[in-house]
Amino acid sequence: MEIRYNEKLKKLPPYLFIEIDRKKKEAINKGADIISLGVGDPDMPTPEHIVKSMQEAVAKPTNHQYPFGVGLPSYRNAVAEWYKKRFNVNLSPDEVCALVGSKEGIGHIHLGFINPGDVVLIPEPGYPVYNTGTIFSDGVPYFMPLLEKNNFLPDLDSIPEDVVKKAKLIFVNYPNNPTAAVAPREFYIKLIEFAKKNSIIVAADAAYSEIYYNENEKPLSLLEFPGAKEICVEFHSLSKTYNMTGWRIGWVCGNKDIVAGIAKVKDNYDSGVFQAVQEAAVTALASSQKCVEDARKIYKERRDALVEGLQKLGWEVNLPKASFYVWAKVPKEYSSSQVVSRLLEEASIVCTPGNGMGKSGEGYVRFALTVGVSRIKEAVERISKMRWKDT
Ligand SMILES: Cc1ncc(COP(=O)(O)O)c(C=O)c1O
């Protein structure tokens, strides 16, 4: 029998990072010494005190049953306390829901709020899951280009009125993947005004909020702004902050009715986050944040090595203020895909084509700072040996 797939599944583009991983493995099998700057998965281990806390938590029989629901009170309290310290925002426990990684909530929010034909406003280039959830819920994506001339912020005024009228959900993501942009206060104020005026739920993806390079310019939370809790939720993740991508834990917080809608969808899809992981996450959030500071220093060294190295070779690259990505313009007369292929074939370097994350990403490649400084320098050295038409 020929297996027939759901039409929605057919509409999904191949999941970009799985494709990149496949190509990387193929090259490794051929014996290439690959420098992997493709997928945004931290190479550093989870800090020891978090691992130790997990080891203790996993041994407790009370953690062996279905976790169910919105998360342990201790986890939601730890989130609230962390939020207060970091953003000076008060959250009550019913304004927080644990997620199986922020991707899970980002992919599921549509099922709570999007009916067939509703428009979802999606930044592009951007994290692919904003669109995946839209397709699965029979929503209609409207892509908002993130352009350098607008500081990689969506231009809300340029969205046609008929699209705005049908829009029920807007995603924003700062610090941004892939452009590494951060959002200024004015943008958030305008966004809240726009959302309230047009009754559009705002889903702010703050997965990279803790990877920043300047203590005086910490990324903001959308929930810091007046009126945000009327219409906004924010997604957070422990993945990048504490090198916990494999553990699958994050949270959504903000407007309690929106949080409740997401929780209701989740009740019918999964049975919550493994409680031992939640307990370890409490340790992560409530202990000293020195491990995060140390990670920031490491990313900064890597960022400087790559950006300075590429700039010396004549590449146009801005110094990112946050995230662990470097968004670089490709040499003139080449497309993103051509550059990615040449880097892989001639220098055994894996990176992400900008256009793979949205058409406005054409002309850029994304490098993830997920290898040590010496390997980054090696990558720059390899690139320096390549010849491009305009150099
Ligand atoms: C912008 C953005 N949001 C959310 C996520 C999801 O992270 P997680 O599900 O590990 O919390 C990622 C992962 O790469 C991301 O890049």
For a ligand 1 pocket test, name from 102, 132, 210, 242 the mutation site with the most ligand atoms within 8 angstroms of its C-beta: 102
Gap between the Cα atoms of 84 and 90, Å rounded = 6
What 3-state class would DSSP assign to 195? Answer: helix
Residues 247 and 283 sit within 8 Å (Cβ to Cβ): no
Residue 102 CA, ligand 1 centroid: distance in Å: 6
Determine which helix (DSSP H) or strand (DSSP E) holds 84, and give its type and residue range. helix 73-87
Burial zone of 323 (CB within 10 Å; 0-12 exposed, 13-18 middle, 19+ buried): buried
Residue with tokens 């040499």: 331
Gap between the Cα atoms of 33 and 22, Å rounded = 15
Residue 219's nearest CA partner among 355, 87, 352, 59 is: 87
What pLDDT does residue 390 have? 64
Gap between the Cα atoms of 330 and 247, Å rounded = 35
pLDDT per residue of the chain (391 residues) written in tens, 0 to 9: 899 999 999 888 777 777 777 888 888 898 899 999 998 999 999 999 999 999 999 999 999 999 989 999 999 999 999 999 999 999 998 899 999 999 999 999 999 999 999 999 999 999 999 999 999 999 999 999 999 999 999 999 999 999 999 999 999 999 999 999 999 999 999 999 999 999 999 999 999 999 999 999 999 999 999 999 999 999 999 999 999 999 999 999 999 999 999 999 999 999 999 999 999 999 999 999 999 999 999 999 999 999 999 999 999 998 999 999 999 999 999 999 899 989 998 999 999 999 999 999 999 999 999 999 999 999 999 999 999 886 5
Residue 364's nearest CA partner among 348, 380, 356, 353 is: 353
Residue 195 CA, ligand 1 centroid: distance in Å: 23
Residue 275 is classified by DSSP as H
Gap between the Cα atoms of 88 and 253, Å rounded = 14
* Region label for 85, one of left (φ > 0), alpha (ψ between -120 and 50) or beta (otherwise): alpha
For a ligand 1 pocket test, name from 177, 249, 252, 370 the mutation site with the most ligand atoms within 8 angstroms of its C-beta: 177
